[in-house]
Amino acid sequence: MCVLFVLPASIICQGCAGIPRDALSMNTATLEDRQIQTRLFETSDEEKILVASASVLQDLGFNLDESETDLGLLVASKERDATEAVQVVLMLAIAVMGGGTTPIDDVQKIRVSLVTSPAGENGARTAVRATFQRIVWNTYGQISRREKLGEPEMYQEFFDKLSKAVFLEAHGI
Amino acid sequence: MNRTLKVIAALYFFSGGLCLCGCESSKAQVLAVQESQVKLRSMQSRVFDTTDKAKTLRTTMATLQDLGFVIDKADDVLGSVSATKLDRYAVRITINVRPYGETQMLVRANAQYNLKAIEDPEPYQQFYAAFEKAMFLTAHSID
């Protein structure tokens, strides 16, 4: 019975509770994140980097949502399966024990914004910064997770692909 | 027969009431402002001693990325940037940049946290603290 009252209250509170203190301020992780998410390219040709970035995002299955080339911006997203084996096993275990069906992660939308900017002396180099995030919906159609994607390896791999694409682009391949 | 009519009438009024509720609340939400318009505008705005709109917009995007946002949209002509931060909660922000007099740019930010507008000065102060560092310029409050 108690659950009936607590559940709506927690949903309402989620809507009204104050904004977390560090939501709009820099913190200790800011610099580290910036390093992980940024790469410098030895060219002043921003357009070339943007074209290469768009093709890498396409290689990775992203669809382009927005672009503003004058400001060096690309925004892309893709929807993918979010099912995790561990959750499926847990759900089955709960069902077998008579706990009924529990929702598990089902679909996710991954979003990325990629921003280029002139860097170095006289803008001789171009900096590229990518930030990824995702929203996960469960099998009941509710949002179960919304988070930034921060794994350094993921960014490393993304920028490796971008470096290759810039090279290919430069050589007309 | 009479009873059926009563039931139909009750249902009719009930659904009408529901509809009215919906209309009233959507209108209230579209035009909702908790704070006074002038106060809100001044807490959300700052003036910078530059006329470089493109640089201001690029710095806006860089600051937002520093703060963990993913940019949703940017428009060079309108001078606007929108972005979303997801960290269990969701914060959406729109920044608008426009010339202010001959020598300055006016920057205005408005943000929402989950389902509520941020109408407290502190988050905006934090944002502009980060922004002025990235701009290498001091943020002036508007009068």
pLDDT digits (tens, 9 = 90+) for A87-127: 899 999 998 888 888 899 999 999 999 999 999 888 899 99
CB-based contact A19 B120, cutoff 8 Å:
yes
Give CA–CA dist A112/A63, Å, rounded. 10
Residue B143, in any domain of the structure: no
Tell whether B140 is covered by a domain.
Answer: no
pLDDT > 70 fraction of chain A, expressed in percent and rounded: 88
- Could you tell me which chain A residue has the CA closest to the CA of B109? A24
The pLDDT tens digits for A33-73 are 999 999 999 999 999 999 999 999 999 999 999 999 999 99
Domain that holds residue B20: 1-32
The answer on B113 and B54 residing in a single domain is yes
Predicted model pTM: 0.83
**B105 and B90 together in one domain:** yes
Confidence category of residue B62, pLDDT binned at 50, 70, 90: very high
Of A68, A117, A147, Cβ closest to residue B74: A68
Give the C-alpha separation, B79 to B91, whole Å.
20
Residue of B nearest to A77 (CA): B72
Q: Are residues B78 and B56 in the same domain?
A: yes
In a domain, B141, yes or no: no
Number of domains in chain B: 2
Give yes or no: residues B22 and B62 share one domain: no
Q: Does residue B102 belong to any structural domain of this protein? A: yes
Q: How far is B39 from chain A (nearest CA, A)?
A: 19
Residue B75 touches partner A, C-beta closer than 8 Å: yes
CATH T-level fold of A28-170: TATA-Binding Protein (3.30.310)
Do B116 and B56 have their domain in common?
A: yes
Same domain, B51 and B102: yes
Clarify whether residues B26 and B62 are in a common domain. no
Give ipTM to 2 decimals: 0.84
> What secondary structure, in 3-state letters, does A52-99 show?
HHHHHHHHCCCEEEEEEHHHCEEEEEEEEECCCHHHHHHHHHHHHCCC
State whether B55 and B9 are in the same domain.
Answer: no
Nearest by CB to A16, which of B75, B116, B126? B116
- Give B89's contacts in chain A (Cβ within 8 Å): 19-20, 23, 146
Residue B48: which CATH number?
A: 3.30.530.50
In angstroms, what separates the C-alpha of B108 from chain A's closest C-alpha? 15
Question: Measured between CA atoms, how close is A36 to chain B, in angstroms?
Answer: 11
Chain segment B76-130, per-residue pLDDT in tens? 999 999 999 999 999 999 999 999 999 999 999 999 999 999 999 999 999 999 9
